[in-house]
Chain A
Amino acid sequence: MRKIRRWGPGLLLVSPSIVLIAVFVYGLIGWNVKVSLSDWREANHTTGWAGLAAYRELRSDPVWSENVHHILLFTATFIVGALLVGLVLAFLLEKGVRGEGFFRSVYLFPMAISFIAAGVVWRWLMNPAPGDRASGLNVIFDKLGLGSSQWYLDSHYGMAAMAMPAIWALGGYIMALYLAGFRGVPEELREAARMDGATELRVYRHVVFPHLRPVTLGALIILGHISIKVFDLIVAIGGKQLITQVPAVYMWIQIYDARDYAKGAAIATILLIGISVLIIPYLIYTIRSERNA
């Protein structure tokens, strides 16, 4: 009885969320996987079993491979870009600038803007129109004599340009993470290194940066899962066109346009697996390091 009194209220407190999550998250994930294995390929709901047919179809689907290519390029550019931008900004602020709070807010604000709104602005900034119809960045490029870029419509590197708004939106957030990381490095360690005659470069290389590893890992996970699921930014800038299409957009098309529910659910499942590959090792790592601490 006393034991129940100890953990009973706590359990009662969290039980609604446990139940809701069990039903609405894990239950629906299970249902989604079931649909992806079914033969529900049209508006009419069917519940027959089709095994991995939808997945096999994706494997030979040229549109899907285009999608995968797009999302990989987008993710690579986005993660590297956001980490670099965040690190450089944090480094500069950490060196002690006047009005640090001001800059911190300025760089963090873009995160508060939805991808849709940011997308609308960047669609204009990255207007690929040449010559006298140019606007946004192409005008600057033109004035500098660099010619005009096709931006997100470039057939090879378009998705790298597409990552720019995302870097812009989340670079400040990564900066905040790194800034906290920098501040977490005890001053004594740096001083000790300097006493031993280390140059400032070496202090960073051997003392500060190793301390940032957990921050980098966390940032990687956050950026990675945002990137794999990206939908709104792409639709706001590129619309529903193959040239900028990513798996989440293809999923929408399969479900709401083609009414191919099994294929749509298969894409959803693959996205989930893609994200789990990122998240699960991170969770294991965190739980382990918490246990050790």
Chain B
Amino acid sequence: MSKRAHTRRGRASRIPVLRVGLFGLVVALLLALPASGFGKSEAPASAQKSELAVFSWWTGGGEAHGLAALIKIWNKQHPNTPFKNETVAGGAGSNAKAVLAQRLAAHKPPDSFQGHAGAELQDYIKAGQLEPIDFIYKKYKFDKIMPKQLIQQITYKGHLYSVPVNIHRANILWYNPSVLRKAGISGAPKTWPAFIAALKKAKAAGVIPLASAEEWTQKHLLETVMIATIGPSGWASLWKKGGNWSSDGVKTALNRYKELLTYTNSDNASLTWQDASKLVADGKAAFNVMGDWADGYFRVDLKKKPGTGYNWTAVPGTNGVYDWLSDSFTLPKGAPHRAAAVQWLAFLGSKKAQDTFNPLKGSIPARKDANPRLYDTYLKWALKQWKSDKLAGSLTHGVVASNAWNADIDSAIGLFLQNKNVSQLQSALVAAAKKRAT
């Protein structure tokens, strides 16, 4: 009995093994399929039904509200091309950019994607992934209604590649008025010596003189110090081929930056920009340099009153200079619904879209004809400045330098924050410019 049972079990077990083997093979083939097959069969199917697929990293806060408002208008105006929102979450778009790079490499672009206006788009342009859109600017007169300097600064080799939706300003010095009063600082400093004197007083009063945060905010700070020291035209010349990074002006700026660092909090690398802004709002710090997205954080998140709970001025030495950055949208080559994408870009440049989006996002329109009544205290001030100020493109936020150049500068600043060696920082910056300027 036992012997027979044994043999039967033996035969029975062999067949399942064969079956399992076949089954495994089939499963493996099925698993391997989506990588190759599905993508191809999907594309034509979606092309038949018209829609507008837009890729962005606007997933939270005012920017998500702004985008939602735009989508609402778009869908009302274009009932036959519904908006397909392809957002990817993640800090400052770093995840989204990785996803986008893969999609573009696989020749499956969205109809339009978000990118910082300026040199950050160079990678896409050089790789032949973007279509020039000068014709949209001409047809809708964007080149007339947006500041001339802006158009110049986002033109790459004679062509325009994106439509700026909003403008943010990077060179803002935020401060806590009551902390300044207690420390005996009479008003916001306008000049560099006054700034240093104010920082000294704040230090003596036992607060953090200048709240600062993680590495990218250090680059942001350095950028404003450099613009303050060498001026907007000197700044612009640095980003052209042969820009003089070894000048005394740059050296002075770097030394100023080094001096500023002695007034910052020791735990800065563990803080986000919001943490640093909060130190000012809570009265634990006197000053903070951050872009004007901090205004929304002070006003909406921390519920502080502009003027009394927090206040602002241009970073000392940069009065009359708008250190700008902008979110913009592009026209990828091979966009599945190109006609819809062109309409979308035309829509984004319109007064209606810009005046809808920006009050919610907390930025100002790139157009000069915005309706000031729609904007809050800070933004009203910013609108006025935008019309008269000289423009300087932001380094940290993608306007003046390509991604590769930015990464080199990140490394140089990272090393500097550890060894505080100005001449080493300057020679690293010189080397980066030599390698990356085009």
Give, as a whole number of angstroms, the nearest-CB distance from B132 to chain A. Answer: 17
Q: Which residue of B lies closest to A23 (CB)?
A: B32
Residues 209-242 of chain B: 1 if any A CB is under 8 Å from the residue's CB, otherwise 0? 0000011000000000000000000000000000
Q: Which residue of B lies closest to A64 (CB)?
A: B411
Of the candidates B97, B267, B403, the one having the most CB atoms from chain A within 10 angstroms of its own CB is: B267
Residues A1-19 near B (CB distance < 8 A): 5, 8-13, 15-17, 19
In the complex, whether A239 has a CB less than 8 A from a CB of chain B is yes
In the complex, whether B193 has a CB less than 8 A from a CB of chain A is no
A43 to B121: give the CA distance in the assembly, Å. 11
A36 to B110: give the CA distance in the assembly, Å. 30
B215 touches A240 (CB 8 A): yes
Point out the residues of chain B lying under 8 angstroms from A123, CB to CB. Answer: 270
Residues 242-265 of chain A: 1 if any B CB is under 8 Å from the residue's CB, otherwise 0? 111100000001101111100000
Q: How many residues of A are counted as interface, with CB atoms below 8 angstroms from the partner's CB atoms?
A: 44
Point out the residues of chain B lying under 8 angstroms from A43, CB to CB. Answer: 101, 123-124, 126-127
In the complex, whether B374 has a CB less than 8 A from a CB of chain A is no
Q: Which residue of A lies closest to B20 (CB)?
A: A13
B418 touches A13 (CB 8 A): no
Point out the residues of chain B lying under 8 angstroms from A5, CB to CB. Answer: 14
In the complex, whether A155 has a CB less than 8 A from a CB of chain B is yes
A45 touches B127 (CB 8 A): yes
In the complex, whether A32 has a CB less than 8 A from a CB of chain B is no
Point out the residues of chain B lying under 8 angstroms from A133, CB to CB. Answer: 267, 284
In the complex, whether A20 has a CB less than 8 A from a CB of chain B is yes
The one of A129, A150, A256 in contact with B94, judged by C-beta atoms closer than 8 angstroms, is: A256
Point out the residues of chain B lying under 8 angstroms from A13, CB to CB. Answer: 17, 20-21, 24
Point out the residues of chain A lying under 8 angstroms from B18, CB to CB. Answer: 8-9, 12
In the complex, whether A292 has a CB less than 8 A from a CB of chain B is no
A44 touches B417 (CB 8 A): no
The one of B20, B28, B101 in contact with A20, judged by C-beta atoms closer than 8 angstroms, is: B28
Give, as a whole number of angstroms, the nearest-CB distance from A60 to chain B. Answer: 11
In the complex, whether B25 has a CB less than 8 A from a CB of chain A is yes
Of the candidates A11, A44, A238, A244, the one having the most CB atoms from chain B within 10 angstroms of its own CB is: A44
Give, as a whole number of angstroms, the nearest-CB distance from A144 to chain B. Answer: 20
In the complex, whether B12 has a CB less than 8 A from a CB of chain A is no
A15 to B27: give the CA distance in the assembly, Å. 12
In the complex, whether A42 has a CB less than 8 A from a CB of chain B is yes
B270 touches A128 (CB 8 A): yes
Interface of B is mostly: helix
In the complex, whether B73 has a CB less than 8 A from a CB of chain A is no
Q: Which residue of B lies closest to A6 (CB)?
A: B14
Give, as a whole number of angstroms, the nearest-CB distance from B195 to chain A. Answer: 24
Q: Which residue of B lies closest to A250 (CB)?
A: B411
Q: Which residue of B lies closest to A155 (CB)?
A: B418
A256 touches B415 (CB 8 A): no
Give, as a whole number of angstroms, the nearest-CB distance from A103 to chain B. Answer: 33
Q: Which residue of A lies closest to B208 (CB)?
A: A133
A158 to B128: give the CA distance in the assembly, Å. 43
In the complex, whether B334 has a CB less than 8 A from a CB of chain A is no
Give, as a whole number of angstroms, the nearest-CB distance from A13 to chain B. Answer: 4
Given contacts A128-B266, A153-B269, A254-B407, contact A16 B27 (CB under 8 A): yes
B267 touches A63 (CB 8 A): no
A259 touches B123 (CB 8 A): yes
Q: Which residue of A lies closest to B14 (CB)?
A: A9
Give, as a whole number of angstroms, the nearest-CB distance from A15 to chain B. Answer: 7
Give, as a whole number of angstroms, the nearest-CB distance from B109 to chain A. Answer: 14
A12 touches B22 (CB 8 A): yes
In the complex, whether B98 has a CB less than 8 A from a CB of chain A is yes
Given contacts A240-B215, A242-B418, contact A10 B127 (CB under 8 A): no
Of the candidates B14, B32, B269, B408, the one having the most CB atoms from chain A within 10 angstroms of its own CB is: B269
The one of A15, A19, A127 in contact with B270, judged by C-beta atoms closer than 8 angstroms, is: A127
Give, as a whole number of angstroms, the nearest-CB distance from B396 to chain A. Answer: 13
Point out the residues of chain B lying under 8 angstroms from A16, CB to CB. Answer: 24-25, 27-29
Give, as a whole number of angstroms, the nearest-CB distance from A279 to chain B. Answer: 26
Point out the residues of chain B lying under 8 angstroms from A48, CB to CB. Answer: none
In the complex, whether B426 has a CB less than 8 A from a CB of chain A is no
In the complex, whether B339 has a CB less than 8 A from a CB of chain A is no
Point out the residues of chain B lying under 8 angstroms from A256, CB to CB. Answer: 94, 97-98, 101
Given contacts A12-B21, A17-B28, contact A258 B269 (CB under 8 A): no
Residues 124-158 of chain A: 1 if any B CB is under 8 Å from the residue's CB, otherwise 0? 00011110010000000000000000101101000
In the complex, whether B194 has a CB less than 8 A from a CB of chain A is no
Point out the residues of chain B lying under 8 angstroms from A42, CB to CB. Answer: 123, 126, 404
In the complex, whether A241 has a CB less than 8 A from a CB of chain B is yes
A150 to B407: give the CA distance in the assembly, Å. 26
Q: Which residue of A lies closest to B415 (CB)?
A: A62
A243 to B267: give the CA distance in the assembly, Å. 12
In the complex, whether A232 has a CB less than 8 A from a CB of chain B is no
Give, as a whole number of angstroms, the nearest-CB distance from A233 to chain B. Answer: 15
A259 touches B403 (CB 8 A): yes
Point out the residues of chain A lying under 8 angstroms from B417, CB to CB. Answer: 242-243
Point out the residues of chain B lying under 8 angstroms from A62, CB to CB. Answer: 411, 415
Point out the residues of chain B lying under 8 angstroms from A241, CB to CB. Answer: 214-215, 269, 414
Give, as a whole number of angstroms, the nearest-CB distance from A139 to chain B. Answer: 14
A12 to B21: give the CA distance in the assembly, Å. 5
Residues A36-84 near B (CB distance < 8 A): 42-45, 62-63, 66
B28 touches A245 (CB 8 A): no
**Closest CB pairs A-B (n = 5):** A242-B414, A16-B28, A12-B21, A258-B407, A43-B123
A–B pairs, 29, beta carbons within 8 Å: A5-B14, A11-B21, A12-B21, A12-B22, A12-B24, A13-B20, A17-B24, A20-B28, A20-B32, A42-B126, A43-B127, A45-B127, A63-B411, A63-B414, A63-B415, A66-B418, A129-B265, A153-B267, A239-B215, A240-B94, A242-B418, A243-B417, A244-B269, A245-B414, A257-B406, A257-B410, A258-B404, A258-B408, A259-B404
What 15 new A-B contacts, CB under 8 Å, besides A129-B265, A256-B97?
A10-B17, A10-B21, A12-B24, A13-B21, A16-B25, A43-B123, A44-B128, A63-B411, A66-B415, A153-B266, A242-B411, A242-B417, A243-B417, A253-B410, A259-B404
Contact residues of B with A, CB < 8 Å?
A: 14, 17-18, 20-22, 24-25, 27-29, 31-32, 94, 97-98, 101, 105, 123-124, 126-128, 214-215, 265-267, 269-270, 284, 403-404, 406-408, 410-411, 414-415, 417-418
